[in-house]
Amino acid sequence: MQIFDLSVPLRNEMPYYPGDPAPQITRLEDHERGDAWTTTHLSVCAHVGTHVDAPLHRIRGAAPVDALSLQTLIGRAYVVDLSDVASEIHAEDLEARNIPLSAERLVLKTRNARLWAREGFQTDFVALGESGAHWVVERGIRLVALDYLSADLFTAQNFRAHEVLLGARVVIVEGILSGEIAEGWYTLICLPLRLQGADGAPARAVLIQGELESKEDKA
């Protein structure tokens, strides 16, 4: 069994989407200052780093993040390698990959994996086009994960990928680290913070390759 951590470390100075507040992580108490405790204060947008977009993020009156089903957030997922796509992922790009019909969770691995090594927010990331979003919905996929900070291109005017996906109640996971994973089947565990009534939340996301081990297996 191998576990791949898809989660971007939360830190000050990390890339964040323009217009969102900058992450602020400060020590309220610190052993190094002679305090009895070390206590950290965290102030971030719900859409910082690796995070989940709930339908409420774009669709008025839709489900908030704390109403998302764990059965959607946990389960078999298929990683598809789209590293050759330069900018926008279209339906024909997805159709050409022979993605299994049984896939209900789709992880998109793109050239975005290299962007996380750069300082600051990068505007030239790969994202879903409207036709790609419709393809995801028509295939009955319940969750799609992308490896930068938006499902739409930075230059998008109407955010149609978000509208199509969230309007069909497809959960969007954004900001994953995809550099170490290869195309194929995994088990996805993606758990956003249970922020009541919120439109999204930071998440810890992992992919597991192989069978889960137990003590009985080692006996």
Q: Which domains does the chain have, with CATH numbers?
A: 2-9+46-210 (3.50.30.50)
- Tell me the DSSP string of 145-199: E-SSS-SS-TT-SS-HHHHHHHHTT-EEEESB--TT--SEEEEEEEEE---TT-S
pLDDT greater than 80 at residue 215: no
Of the pLDDT bands very low, low, confident and very high (cuts 50, 70, 90), residue 204 is very high
In terms of Cα–Cα distance, which of 169, 171, 174, 162 is closest to 133? 162
pLDDT for res 211: 82
Task: State which amino acid sits at residue 211.
Answer: E
What's the token pair of residue 214?
């137990």
pLDDT tens digits, one per residue of 78-127: 999 999 999 999 999 999 999 999 999 999 999 999 999 999 999 999 99
The DSSP H or E segment spanning 99 is none
